[in-house]
Amino acid sequence: MNINDTADTAGTADTAGTADTAGTAVLDQLRRRPAGERRILFTGATIVTMDPGLGVIDRGDLLVEGDTITAVGPGLSPGDAVVVDATGTILTPGFVDTHRHAWQAQLRRIMPDVDDLGGYVMATLAGHATVYRPEDMYIGTRLAALTAIDSGITTMLDFSHNSRTPEHSDAAVEALRDTGIRGVHASMGPHFGDWDQQWPGDLARIKDRYFSSDDQPLTLRLATLATDQIAGPALAYGPELARVAADLGIGVSVDAVFGTSSSEAVLRWAKDGILGPDVTLIHSTGLTSEAWKAMGETGTTVALAPTSEAQIGLETAIPAVDEALSVGIRPGLSIDVEVALASDMFTQMRALHAIQRMRAVNAAYGADQQPSRITTQDVLDFATLQGARTNALAAVTGSLTPGKKADLLVIQAEDLNNMPLNDPIGTVVLGSDARNISAVLINGEPRKWNGHVLDVDLSALRTAVQASRDHVLTASAA
């Protein structure tokens, strides 16, 4: 990615040194301007808009003004914008993570070969979670959000189900805010151990303190469970929690939706009138056809976690993409638990793409029928636009549509692992990873530039993460 600066040099190339030096110079110029007055023009890129009306634009330009995308197309006039020569790159919307338990990040891959949900629940939720302090919530959530940004996730729903005190909740929200990610704080009380029993009543205080404005990168949801089997009735979704969410004007994210008991719960919710587009059901494996029919008819959204379903083995262990599509639901994708799983959206897209196509071909093997296979376009849609819709943010992010917020990625298409560029969507889904993301903008603000996450003291972060991890492991073993 080469950098030209029209703001100070009237369109002449910045020749101060290497591409990295030039990029740093442009970043400095951008940051000298007040955020609301910035204008950035990316030129010459392959633009994968994920907007059905705009499609893929070859050698196109994209203009960002303040926090908003204002124009996409060829030959845009730069005016006084800082010009980024994006030749040889792909511009895409940022990825949208619809469900991650971010507070666990300092315990990454501590149980990589966990065999079932029960093993995870007892080790993490009944064990480690019970000794978390507010500062541990902050450190884990901040680490997860920074890692998300590094790998191109610009929106992350933090299913924060360790809200032991108001201070624990505050720490989680403040960590999202401090990283600059477009964060969704989904708050839930803990499964096990001592806590203040302040949830869900504390949601009103959290909303007043942190979410009083609709024009900010952070939003609030109520997090809950499908049934009372794991943690008792207080955490299970039903009319009472639905009323709490409705009174606050926030959406609901329901975790652990799988199997016969969840299918029965879905039918109860449909009968009670508490399903709909503002409700997200997470996982949704092993559900009955009747439950899926109710979900489709009510417009309920679904968050899949492809590696979680398959690797941990949730019910059928098959991500329920075919079931969702059969009732008209296009799902979002999510990471789930870093204690056992990968942290990035590239892995989720590839896992889902491979599993669904394997399943389709296997079902048609030996029969006179064509497999119904999803495409790379589908999984990129799930990871961007459908993820935004699942998080109730489709009007804000998920596509490079003029009028939406500037949440975007600059992906190097001519790096060793991507060259030559033949199919841009295939390159993003099957070829790229975090090393190819040279820039990330969230709400128009550069959060990664020249391949480096900005405004992070890695040495200090590493020290804090290790100290928090050591506390949690020591205290939970006592």
292 has pLDDT over 90 = yes
Q: What is the pLDDT of residues 31-53, one digit of tens each?
A: 888 888 899 999 999 999 999 99
- In terms of pLDDT, which residue wins out, 353 or 21? 353
- Least confident window among 8-12, 166-170, 187-191, 369-373: 8-12
Average pLDDT value for residue range 8-22? 38
4 has pLDDT over 80 = no
Average pLDDT value for residue range 404-429? 98
Average pLDDT value for residue range 135-154? 98
SS3 state at 455? coil
Which pLDDT value is given to residue 1?
57
Q: What's the predicted TM-score (pTM) here?
A: 0.95
Q: In whole angstroms, how far apart are CA 445 and each of 27, 217, 328?
A: 10, 11, 35
Dihedral angle over CA of 70, 76, 78, 82, nearest 10: 70
User: pLDDT-derived band of residue 215, with 50, 70 and 90 as boundaries?
Assistant: confident
Q: At what angle do helices 202-210 and 239-248 cross, to 10 degrees?
A: 20
Q: Which two tokens stand for residue 264?
A: 């029965």
97's CB contacts (< 8 A; 6+ apart) are 148, 153, 155, 156, 157, 333, 334, 335, 345, 387
| Nearest partner of 435 among 93, 181, 152, judged by Cα | 152
Cis previous bond, 200, omega within 30: yes
477's CB contacts (< 8 A; 6+ apart) are none
Q: At what angle do helices 202-210 and 166-179 cross, to 10 degrees?
A: 30
Is-contact 22 3, C-beta < 8 A? yes
Arithmetic mean of pLDDT over the chain: 94
- Domains of the chain (ranges, CATH numbers): 2-93+398-453 (2.30.40.10), 95-390 (3.20.20.140)
468's CB contacts (< 8 A; 6+ apart) are 106, 135, 136, 139, 140
